[in-house]
Structure formats: structure tokens, C-alpha cells
Amino acid sequence: MKTLKIVKSTLFLALIPFLLFAQTDKKKTETIYIQTSAQCDECKSKIEGAVKDLKGVKDAQMNMADMKLMVSYSPNKVNADEIKNAISKSGYDADNVMADKDSYNSLPKCCQKSGGKH
């Protein structure tokens, strides 16, 4: 009886790496939140559009209360840096990635950070 117990627990221990591996393998969608410098609805749709255009991005939703962009993506097709760069290229800050200067300067004044209220 005792040997059976040992065999069982050894089997279980041996299975752990497989169980963990199977779980990371199953996780095909990653969700991140990126702080942006969006100011209005126009910014929101511009940023969401730019991010959704990326291969591997499944969804992008801006929260207008805190201007955080929720992005669902497939980590084997695209990564967080590429997503942030796409936001930067459309003229907005994305976490620690500053907005591309030229794109930022070509935004409507009201969409720039110092542009005041709509």
C-alpha cells in the first residue's frame, strides 16, 4: 500500500511540468492596459484604430475616464512594445514611450496635451 502511495505521488510530481506547460500553451490572448495621452473621442478612435490595425491585436478599447487603452492581443504575433510604438506613431504617449514628435505636432491643437478643453 505504501509503495502505491509513493508511486502515485511521484507520478503526480512528474506531471507538474506538463500541467504548467499545457497552461501557458493554452494562453493565447494577453491583455494589457496602456496609459495614453488621449484627450477626446477623436483621439480615442485614432488610437484604437492604429492599434487594431496591428497584426495579432484582437481588441483595443479606450477608457475615457482615465485614458487607458485596453489591448487584447496574441503574444506570438505582436508584443507590447510594438503596440506602444504604434500609439506613439499616431501622436500619443503610451506608458513610457513618448509620442512621435512629428505625429504629435500634426495633431489638431485640441488633441495635444497643452491644447486645453474641447
Q: Are 40 and 110 contacting, i.e. CB atoms less than 8 angstroms apart?
A: yes
Q: Closest approach of Cβ 77 to Cu ion, in Å? A: 29
Sketch the per residue contact string, 23 through 52, with Cu ion: x for CB under 5 A, - otherwise. Answer: ----------------xx-xx---------
* Residue 103 sits in the site that holds Cu ion (CB under 5 A): no
Q: Closest approach of Cβ 65 to Cu ion, in Å? A: 15
Among candidates 75, 70, 27, which has minimal Cα distance to 48? Answer: 70
Distance of CA 84 to the CA centre of its chain: 8
Of 36 and 39, CB closest to Cu ion: 39
Alpha helix (H) residue ranges in 27-109: 41-52, 80-89, 101-105
**Which residues form the interface with Cu ion (CB under 5 A)?**
39-40, 42-43, 111
